[in-house]
Amino acid sequence: MRIACMIRYRIDPFQLDAFRRYAEAWGRIIPRCGGDLVGYFLPHEGSNDIAWGLIAFDSLADYEAYRARLKTDAEGRENFAFAREHRFILREERSWTEIVDGAFRMSATMGVPA
Residue 37 lies in a domain: yes
- On whether residue 9 sits in a domain, the answer given is yes
List of E strands, 12-114: 36-41, 50-57, 89-98
Say if 108 falls within a structural domain. no
Residue 114 placed within a domain: no
pLDDT of residue 108: 65
Residue 99 near residue 4 (C-beta atoms within 8 A): yes
**pTM for this model (two decimals):** 0.86
Cβ-Cβ contacts under 8 Å for 81 (sequence gap 6 or more): none
pLDDT for position 105: 75
Residue 65 resides in a domain: yes
Does residue 113 lie in a domain region? no
Supply the CATH number for residue 75's domain: 3.30.70.100
Q: Which domain holds residue 40?
A: 3-103
Domain count for the chain: 1
User: What tens-digit pLDDT sequence spans the chain (114 residues)?
Assistant: 899 999 999 999 999 999 999 999 999 999 999 999 999 999 988 889 999 999 999 999 999 999 999 999 999 999 999 999 999 999 999 999 999 988 877 766 655 555
